[in-house]
A and B are shown apart, each in its own frame.
Chain A
Amino acid sequence: MSNIEKIENFAKNLRITILDMALEAGASSSHFGGALSMVEIISTLFAYKMKHKKIISDEFNKRDRFILSKGHACLAYYAALHEIGLIPRDLLKTFEKNNSSLAGHPVKNKEIGIEFSNGSLGMGLSIGIGLAISAKKKQSNFKTYVILGDGECNEGSVWEAAMSAPKFKLNNLNVVIDRNNFQQTGSNNEIMDLGNLKNKWKNFGWEAEELDGHDIKKLVNYFDKNKNNSQPKVLIANTVKGKGFSFSENNNTWHHSVMTKNIYEKAIKEINRPNGN
């Protein structure tokens, strides 16, 4: 199987797991749309790009670091951690249930690969900068990957962090912005127009690129590119909120909604018959 096929397969499994968990959550709802928009991004990272290490191994310190700053999209994160063998299927079924380790936003739990708690927006990038500075200080080769939401970029703290990373020449820091053009109660344009994100980050001193965040080939090429300069990297990944299902694509009611058995069955059929065939 080629790398691309491997990632595609990983992404497909993620969508199925996301559906399963959303159904499991039932009436307590789940953040569906923003998880689906980042499926290809997190699949490329987890199935291909990032080095994972078992917590018990001596090599643990060499693992790449990952922060899901848009913590509400944890469905995709939990599904990816399941896919790499860190979250067992039984645990997935406890999602958003009483006394579960899998809350509606990630809670730090190194045993299952969750290194930081997130959910309050605008906090993850600063932590990632701390990790990247630490790698430089210790001359360690690990990379730090942070996924931000586009709505999340409304938070001032994102820009405090954006301002600081170039100062420390953090070319070991990779940010991906899941640019799905929606936030909780409307489109970015309606709620708070973000303008040209790529130029904004560029002007803050980042190496900024923009591409289709569902195109796995382009994502692989981007992450594989040899980057020798000293700047931190940001990728504006243009995505579709709710990607993968006809009922949820660009439909912001699926920002946070209830998965019913009926919709679930329809969705499973769509996964098995991609491109409407």
Chain B
Amino acid sequence: MEINEKNIKLWSSIGPRATLGLGILDLAQKDENILVVTCDVSTSAGLDRFRKTLPDQYIELGIAEQNMIGVATGLASESYDVITTTFAPFQTMRCCEQIKVNLGYMEEKLTMVGLASGLVLGNLGFTHCCIEDLGVLRSIPNIKIISPADSLETIKAVEASIKEKKSCYIRLTGGSNNPIIYNQNYNFEIGKSVTLKKGTEITIFGSGTILSECIKAAELLDKSGLSTSVINMHTIKPIDEFAIQNACKKSRLLISVEEHNIIGGLGSAISDNLSKIKNSPVLLKFGINDEYTKSGSYDYLKTYYGLNHQKILETTLKFIKKNND
């Protein structure tokens, strides 16, 4: 798949799920060792074309996620490169113990893709939103966790995960018309964050689609006289410790923004490291404040949880004022 301006725009408009389908089809056409194992989600995962084009590399197991991880494990142990995918809550929690035993404990290697994680399916309610996947999987050894910023990074994450020796979980956020974070090719490496914007006083760490709100918030903070950098922490585990140390040296305030429960996700992963750093700055965490709420649109829920750029700006300024008083 050629990375050019036209494709980047196309992938953004169709969103990360449809892009995932295109990306996996492209990889699997070149490599028959790649298998896709799913639970009745070919349409949702953008895999309808894959299903028709490469039926021998497509294994449909019906709505049975525990069996999906088990069957995929058996295939992986016979040296196949296996990608499993379904909606994020079912990909991570319904089969959590299979993930623990087969991938964590036994160290068999899968690439798992959680569809529509975070709040994008808010209209369907919190059975389908997923604000717990990072916390659940971070506690299991031997699994790498990636939350791509946009459609291009989704493709890069899938490619990198297939080459990776350990199992990976790729957490897709956002829907169609997904904001473009990268408008040209760049170097993606699991575990190595990317600085999207440089600033001197505040560092915002974000991951997933919410990074577009982080960039807008940073620009507004700049205008308020607070020079702000934005770092794409696309890998939640292993977290980029060097980037955290670096931010501690440069900034007087750290911010984390994520479409996840405030407990267990990116902010927690950063906190775990800050506790090891002497005189580290304060970390202001934006996320879902350990609660469920009524259903609503993606934009509605982002606003409700204070995750849009305007809210990030206001809360940050309020926090700074309060701490300066």
Contacts and interface: CB of A to CB of B under 8 A. Distances in A.
Interface of A: 107-108, 115-120, 122-135, 137-138, 156-157, 160-161, 163-164
Interface in B106-157: 106-107
B70 A134 contact: no
Contacts of A117: 101, 105-106
11 contacts: A115-B77, A125-B70, A126-B70, A126-B73, A126-B74, A127-B74, A130-B74, A134-B74, A138-B78, A157-B67, A161-B70
B3 interface: no
B64 A160 contact: yes
Interface string B40-71: 00000000000000001001011010110111
Contacts of B64: 160, 163-164
B102 A127 contact: yes
B67 A161 contact: yes
Contact of B106 (A108, A131, A135, A156): A108
A133 B74 contact: yes
Contacts of B70: 123-127, 129-130, 157, 161
A120 B101 contact: yes
Nearest to A157: B66
Name A's interface SS. Answer: helix
Contacts of A135: 78
Contacts of A132: 74
A129 B61 CA distance: 11
A131 B74 contact: yes
B59 A127 contact: no
Given A126-B67, A164-B64, A116 B77 contact: yes
Contacts of B56: 137
B114 to A, nearest CB: 19
A133 B76 CA distance: 11
Contacts of A157: 66-67, 70, 98
A127 B71 contact: yes
B167 to A, nearest CB: 14
Please give me the 10 A-B residue pairs with the lowest Cβ-Cβ distance, nearest first. Answer: A130-B74, A126-B70, A134-B78, A160-B67, A160-B64, A157-B66, A127-B74, A130-B71, A130-B75, A131-B74
Nearest to B98: A123
Contact of B59 (A128, A133, A156): A133
Given A127-B74, A133-B71, 17 more contacts: A120-B97, A124-B70, A125-B70, A127-B73, A127-B102, A129-B67, A130-B71, A130-B72, A130-B74, A130-B75, A131-B77, A134-B78, A157-B70, A157-B98, A163-B64, A164-B62, A164-B71
